[in-house]
A and B are shown apart, each in its own frame.
Chain A
Amino acid sequence: MRSFNVGDLIYLLLAARWTVLLSLIAFAGGGIVGLIIALMRVSELRPARWFAIGFIRVFQGTPLLLQLFLVFFGGDMVGVPLGAWLSVILGLSLNAGAFLGEIWRGSIQAVPNGQIEAARALGLHYGQRMLRVVAPQALRTAIPPTVGFLVNLIKSTSLAAIIGFVELTRAGQQLNNATFRPFLIFGLVALVYFVMCWPLTIFASRLERRLALAYKR
């Protein structure tokens, strides 16, 4: 056992870079998956709708940790060993895709149907309808819950530690094994997460309030 020193603190902060990077990549990946799922969910094709519903149900109805395990071992199984880094990115992106897909479906459906009918009557095709009519209106309602979800995603990246990827939580575990100061180390780890998440939480609820006011008017 040794004592906790400044080097350890720097080690934690450097490991936090991986948490940030993992969150950003998973958010981008989840955004792509989520967009596809949301569009399928509101599609006129029944099989697409069913697929999206099933996808959302499965990812929201099973633990994220098991999803990460399944991607990790599933890759090995089909002969493409993904490793901890890629497995976590893929697993988190799929999971985030389900949640974002459900959030964005709600925003798309909140756009009054008359808008879409009018766009159709004006002769706009699907891409133009979605991009120029639906998206600008859906974006307003989509942003607050999306920011709120980002907080969840940052917290979820801590599960990468269980797979063995060295990010903030895993670095904390390593330091705790060496120094055995659990309250100090996990307190610091928690503090770093808090500093990342809390501003986003406040931002999300401020946006939400502003949106609620706009609707009241």
Chain B
Amino acid sequence: MLHEPAVQAGKDPAFPFKRKLGVRLFCVYALVYAAFIAINVIKPQIMETIVLGGLNLAVIYGFGLILFALILALIYSSICSRRERSLAESKGA
């Protein structure tokens, strides 16, 4: 017996597009995150460099990773919603 979702979702024509976009944005973030780890293990002293307003690279990069995640998430959602709308409209037309 197969498991049915709690709430049945209809076909989603935007799914392949969203999946591809998700993977690309994931790769972008993973690269920035990997660079953060790399700096910390290769030359952690760089993290002491004062970058902006007396704040060092460690703080700026750390906060940056948190904010970057939110920015990418908003971009992703906005593009996905636009694609879902346009596909729904073209189907309706």
User: Are A and B a genuine interacting pair, yes or no?
Assistant: no
Q: Which residues of A contact B (CB under 8 A)?
A: none
Which residues of B line the A interface, CB within 8 A?
none
